[in-house]
Amino acid sequence: MHPRISIGIIGTGWVGASVAISVLQAGAAQELILFDARDGLAEGEAMDLAHGASFYPSATVRAGSLAEMQDTQAIVITAGKNGAPGQSRLDLLRDNLAILRGIALQLRGYTGIVVIVSNPIDVLVYDFTQASGLPPERVIGTGTMLDTTRLRQILGQRLALDPRSIHAQVLGEHGDSEAVLWSGAEVGGVPLRSWPGWQRADEAQIALQVRRAAYEIIQRKGATNHAIGLVTAHLLHGMLRDERRVLTVTRVQTGALGLFGVALSLPTVVGAGGALQVLEPALEADERTALLRSAEVLRAAIASVDF
**8-24 confidence digits (pLDDT tens):** 999 999 999 999 999 99
Average pLDDT over residues 72-83: 89
81-86, long-range: CB within 8 Å, 24+ apart, which pairs?
Answer: 82/13, 82/14, 82/15, 82/218, 82/222, 82/223, 83/119, 83/214, 83/218, 83/223, 84/218, 85/215, 85/218, 85/219, 86/215
Is pLDDT at 40 greater than 90 in this prediction?
yes
Is pLDDT at 89 greater than 70 in this prediction?
no
Average pLDDT over residues 55-73: 96
The CATH architecture to which 6-141 belongs is 3-Layer(aba) Sandwich (3.40)
CATH of domain 145-303: 3.90.110.10
What is d(CA 145, CA 66) in angstroms, rounded to the nearest whole number? 27
Q: What is the pLDDT of residue 1?
A: 35
Q: What is the pLDDT of residues 187-224, one digit of tens each?
A: 999 999 999 999 999 999 999 999 999 999 999 999 99
Q: What is the pLDDT of residue 61?
A: 98
To the nearest whole number, what is the mean pLDDT of the chain? 94
Is pLDDT at 34 greater than 70 in this prediction?
yes
What is d(CA 260, CA 276) in angstroms, rounded to the nearest whole number? 16
What is d(CA 300, CA 278) in angstroms, rounded to the nearest whole number? 23
| pTM score, whole prediction | 0.94
Report the DSSP pairing between strands 190-191 and 186-187: antiparallel
Catalytic residues: 174
Is pLDDT at 307 greater than 70 in this prediction?
no
The domain segmentation of the chain, as residue ranges, is: 6-141, 145-303
What confidence category does residue 87 fall into, taking pLDDT thresholds of 50, 70 and 90? low
Q: What is the pLDDT of residues 134-148, one digit of tens each?
A: 999 999 999 999 999
Is pLDDT at 247 greater than 80 in this prediction?
yes
Is pLDDT at 74 greater than 80 in this prediction?
yes
Q: What is the pLDDT of residues 147-174, one digit of tens each?
A: 999 999 999 999 999 999 999 999 999 9
